[in-house]
Amino acid sequence: MDKTTVILGGVYCAVILVLISVFVISPSKLDLSPHIAQNNPFDQSIMKSSQLSLADLFAASDQGVVQIIVSKSNDSLEDKDIGSGIVYDTTGHIITNNHVVENSTKIQIVFHDGQSLPAKVVGTDPYADLAVVKVNPSSYALHPLTLGDSSNLRIGDQVAAIGNPFGLTGTITSGIVSQLGRLLDPPNSSFSIPNVIQTDAPINPGNSGGPLLDMYGKVVGINTAIQSETGEFSGVGFAIPSNTMKRIVPSLIENGHYDHPWLGITGISVDSDLSDILKLPVSSGFMIYTVVPNSSAAQAGLQGYKETKAINGTQYKIGGDIIIAADSHPINRINDLLNYLQDQKSVGDKMVLTIIRDGKTMQVTLTLQQRPNQF
């Protein structure tokens, strides 16, 4: 991960310590009281057909967004962190980020009207930074939000975020989808999160786990991180797409975990500059550097680089297979391959890779294994 990428998390208390040299916040000026929704029910049927104003979007969605207060033991101290969450169903399941609840000793869920209920973690996926916690709603009425189809998003679409930045409950901000298909490198992991949504809707520490909404009131992403050198929002935020949530969340509820498919390769995306330097037969694709022993790729016979060569003072690894398609879907760069794996494939599936080896095009069939913790 780039050093300027900040995983937002429920890290309000910790973030204040980090940011104290940059700016000063007076706690007495922060509104940390529970947000009380106005008593004017919104007609949900409107959401089915027409785009909403930001005011109507908030009225329709605020009841489905919660504040998550997490206690975490830190040696002899106990920190209280704040994040956000999305009500998933009426039985009490709530979606948030894994880093919000990771290493938690106690979790409290605060709803839009100030009602508070304890929660327990039922499933986590650190690879996609997703987690599901559960409350026992008893007679309390929950208001789930609907997961939309993130594949329909276009660059420039208007979106809104609802959450609890710096503990300020029930906060809505708006912006646009500024790019799609980003790779996000979470800390302490060898694996990137693919197909991430980039947005300029202002999000800050405490927003993590809250929804990114389209203007029809559908959840298209879960706010996760920002790109910042100071810890403050600087115009670039990231959200895990709703289609990723749709694949992973049911497994977290049922099994407590999600098994990600894995190839077992490292390498570099091919572009026109690299192609010119190395005299490659293609100007796009993914060139394999190394193949992990006993991985899916190794068992299928994929090959990594054969030698290194100095060109204009720079060492290059050359001779590795170049992946140009997966199941006939073009692979122009690593993002395409990772996005296809996450969105379309499961552990145990077969996948046909079209590769170029020693200038010749060929196909290799492999069976996808479960991703290991590290490699």
> Could you give the CA distance from residue 82 to residue 237 in angstroms, rounded to a whole number?
18
Phi and psi of 158, rounded to 5°?
-80, 140
Instruction: Confirm whether 35 is a catalytic residue.
Output: no
DSSP assigned state of 73 = E
> Could you give the CA distance from residue 68 to residue 94 in angstroms, rounded to a whole number?
10
Phi-psi region of 79 (alpha: psi -120 to 50; beta: other; left: phi over 0): beta
Phi and psi of 309, rounded to 5°?
-140, 135
CB 206 within 8 Å of CB 167? yes
Catalytically annotated residue among 99, 104, 200, 321: 99
Catalytically annotated residue among 62, 125, 129, 214: 129
Domains identified in the chain and CATH numbers: 5-255 (2.40.10.120), 261-370 (2.30.42.10)
Query: Judging by DSSP bridges, how do beta strands 285-291 and 237-241 pair with one another?
Result: unpaired
> Could you give the CA distance from residue 154 to residue 164 in angstroms, rounded to a whole number?
26
Q: Residue 19: CB partners within 8 Å, gap ≥ 6?
A: 25, 230, 231, 232
Q: Residue 304: CB partners within 8 Å, gap ≥ 6?
A: 265, 266, 267, 288, 289, 290, 291, 317, 320, 321
pLDDT for 374: 59
Catalytically annotated residue among 84, 104, 208, 296: 208
Give per-10-residue mean pLDDT for the chain (375 aa).
48 32 29 40 55 96 96 69 96 96 94 95 95 94 96 97 92 96 78 92 92 97 82 82 96 96 95 95 96 96 94 93 97 94 94 96 96 71
pLDDT for 188: 66
- The three-class DSSP label of residue 312 is coil
> Could you give the CA distance from residue 158 to residue 105 in angstroms, rounded to a whole number?
37
Instruction: Confirm whether 56 is a catalytic residue.
Output: no
Q: Residue 280: CB partners within 8 Å, gap ≥ 6?
A: 270, 274, 287, 322
Helix (H) or strand (E) holding 145: none
Phi-psi region of 350 (alpha: psi -120 to 50; beta: other; left: phi over 0): beta
Instruction: Confirm whether 349 is a catalytic residue.
Output: no
pLDDT for 305: 95
